[in-house]
Structure 1
Amino acid sequence: MKTKNPLLYVGLIATLIFSAGPLYFMLVMASRANDEIVSLPPPLWLGGNLFSNIDRVFANEDVLFGQALLNSLLVATVATVCVVVTSSLAGFAFAKLKFRGRNAMLLFVIGTMMVPVQLGLIPLYMLMTKLGLNGGLESVTLPFIVAGFGVFMMRQFAEQAIPDEMIEAARVDGASTFRIFFSIVFPALRPAAAVLGLLTFMERWNDFLWPFLTLDAEHPTVQVALSRLSSGYYSDQSLIMAGTLVGTLPLVVVFIVFGRQIIGGIMEGGLKA
């Protein structure tokens, strides 16, 4: 029997501490009063003000944190579903369907990933203004229902995970392209779709710059609401930490719910590589 290396466990424990440390520190700060946070040395244990600080976050009428949570959940969910569906369809088409200009179109999709997001803010703002969508949640949802990275990722996974013989057998049986996709291709792409879904949800949930530019005061997202908590001449650090804690919980829940499929997709992709 092979002896287990104790250094492996030391490394794992150190990784856990460094990874969970900031989350624990945020929880401690959110449970303390503001004067306790700024004191030296800083507190290391949970206090008794966690729920009162959270209540103050939701009671702040200038921030609209409850509506911001719902807005971010709606935007992130819609964008995630759309990106997973469109990327799976396009990835399947680029990987398994033969059509003229396929390679050129794929290169164009990859090329969109090389353009910095900041360069597209002004044209995108002008486009949303002409469409009359600035200020509403549509302006932070519609531009992100398709992702070049998602198309490339699903194309690479479909190329390796789906045998050509399986598709040809389905065609011989009379299945249409969409029937092949929904019955054969998408179930095989599910691990990669889970990984892409998590990455997309996190990206849209944590997006700040574009929502800050385009949304009005009545339609904030979580990151915009958090920026309002920290604005002004006086910053209540306990209030900011409590809002950050609440804004982080949905990401933790999503990872817990889909963690098994996500890890399975990463491991399967690593084995195929």
Structure 2
Amino acid sequence: MSLRTHTGGAADRRAGTVPRAVDQLGGSDRGTGAHRRSKVTGASPLMYVALTFVVLLAAAPLYFMLVMASRANSDILGIPPPLLPGDRLASNIDRVFANPDVQFGKALLNSLIVASTATLAVVVSSALAGFAFAKLKFRGSNVLLIIVVATMMVPVQLGLIPLYMLMTKIGLAGGLASVTLPFLVSGFGVFFMRQYALQAIPDELIEAARVDGASTLRIFWSIVFPALRPAAAVLGLLTFMERWNDFLWPYIALDFNHPTVQVALSRLAGGYYTDQALVMAGTLMGTLPLVVVFIVFGRQIVGGIMEGGLKS
């Protein structure tokens, strides 16, 4: 009887010890997790100061561009220069659009057409080619990929004269097609989408779709392209900015009646006398579309990354 009592008491003590140990372990884990969460979510004041400094440093050129675009040319050239916006922004913008030698309104429309067309074509073609190089097995894929990567090593300036001769022979020199057609595909875009597809799309998912009877094109539009959306947004943003800011090739290929934004800005800054306020007003109007596109694509990038993180 005493043996059973002793054994039962020891077992009860062991049974009572296990929950306490578990509680202590869980409590320590919860405490450690809360501490880690507090360390992750908490930010030191120094971090906020550094972020504020970076934001101000990045926004300073835009702010001073706005200040100079809203002032008279005499105010800009004064010492010290003005630090606050003036009241001549609307009049300076009207002067930019009213200048017949610049054709700034037409230049904005031309740049929008060229950049949008090239962006859409580059994103679609790069996604298709990147998916093929990453997930489809075909003869000569490695050689073709090397050729695509090799095109990135050739400077654009080396191809200006042959490209202009080609555009002249086929009758496209001087029009918007001459600055759009050569940039409908991108070697960087193909390589970028291929690298992203290798990591973002599992082979098992494609095999399961094939077992269900889906064709290659159906797999691309229903499975692959939605998974490539964050990379497509980044590539679209970079392509749009590159085509919008391109100056050298449009300056060579386009005639006087088909300017782009950068060519129009060069006309504003040309001549014996440069009106800095007029140039800054034109630069401000040429920068606003990029800001809008960056905001739109930035939201898509964040949304795609969050969606991919939740699915994983």
TM-score of Structure 1 vs Structure 2, range by shorter chain: over 0.9
Matches within 5 A, 1:112-191: 112-191=151-230
User: What secondary structure is seen at the aligned counterpart in 2 of 1:40?
Assistant: coil
Deviation at 1:267, TM superposition (A): 8.5
Q: Which residue of the partner structure matches residue 24 of structure 1?
A: 63
Q: Which residue of the partner structure matches residue 13 of structure 1?
A: 52
Deviation at 1:257, TM superposition (A): 1.6
1:36 maps onto 2:75 in alignment: yes
Q: Which residue of the partner structure matches residue 218 of structure 1?
A: 257
Deviation at 1:170, TM superposition (A): 0.8
8 A contact 1:195–1:266 mirrored in 2: no
| C-alpha RMSD of matched pairs (Å) | 1.5
Q: Per-residue CA shift, 1:122-167, capped at 9, x if unaligned? A: 1111111111100000000000000000000000001110110111
Q: Output the amino acid matched with 1:212.
A: Y
Q: How many residues align?
A: 270
203-212 or 257-266: bigger deviation: 257-266
User: What secondary structure is seen at the aligned counterpart in 2 of 1:141?
Assistant: helix
> Could you tell me the TM-score, scaled by structure 2's length?
0.84
Structure index of larger Rg: 2
Deviation at 1:4, TM superposition (A): 2.8
Matches within 5 A, 1:243-258: 243-258=282-297
Q: Per-residue CA shift, 1:91-120, capped at 9, x if unaligned? A: 000000000010111011000001111011
Identity %: 76
Deviation at 1:182, TM superposition (A): 0.4
Q: Which residue of the partner structure matches residue 59 of structure 1?
A: 98
Distance in structure 2 (CA, Å) of the matches to 1:151 and 1:109: 8
| Structure 2 segments unaligned to the other structure (5+ residues) | 1-37
Q: Output the amino acid matched with 2:185.
A: V
| Structure 1 segments unaligned to the other structure (5+ residues) | none
> Which is bigger in relative contact order (C-alpha 8 A, separation at least 6)?
1
Q: Per-residue CA shift, 1:225-260, capped at 9, x if unaligned? A: 000000000000000000000000000011112212
Distance in structure 1 (CA, Å) of the matches to 2:201 and 2:271: 55
Report the CA distance shift for 1:141/1:231 in structure 2 as closer, same or farther (over 3 A). same
8 A contact 1:76–1:204 mirrored in 2: yes
Q: Output the amino acid matched with 2:266.
A: S
Distance in structure 1 (CA, Å) of the matches to 2:173 and 2:186: 21
Distance in structure 2 (CA, Å) of the matches to 1:115 and 1:88: 22
Deviation at 1:174, TM superposition (A): 1.1
Q: Which residue of the partner structure matches residue 47 of structure 1?
A: 86
1:72 maps onto 2:108 in alignment: no
8 A contact 1:73–1:205 mirrored in 2: yes
Distance in structure 2 (CA, Å) of the matches to 1:44 and 1:84: 41
Q: Output the amino acid matched with 1:92.
A: F
223-232 or 4-13: bigger deviation: 4-13
Deviation at 1:262, TM superposition (A): 2.5
Q: Output the amino acid matched with 1:197.
A: G
Matches within 5 A, 1:228-243: 228-243=267-282
Deviation at 1:188, TM superposition (A): 0.5
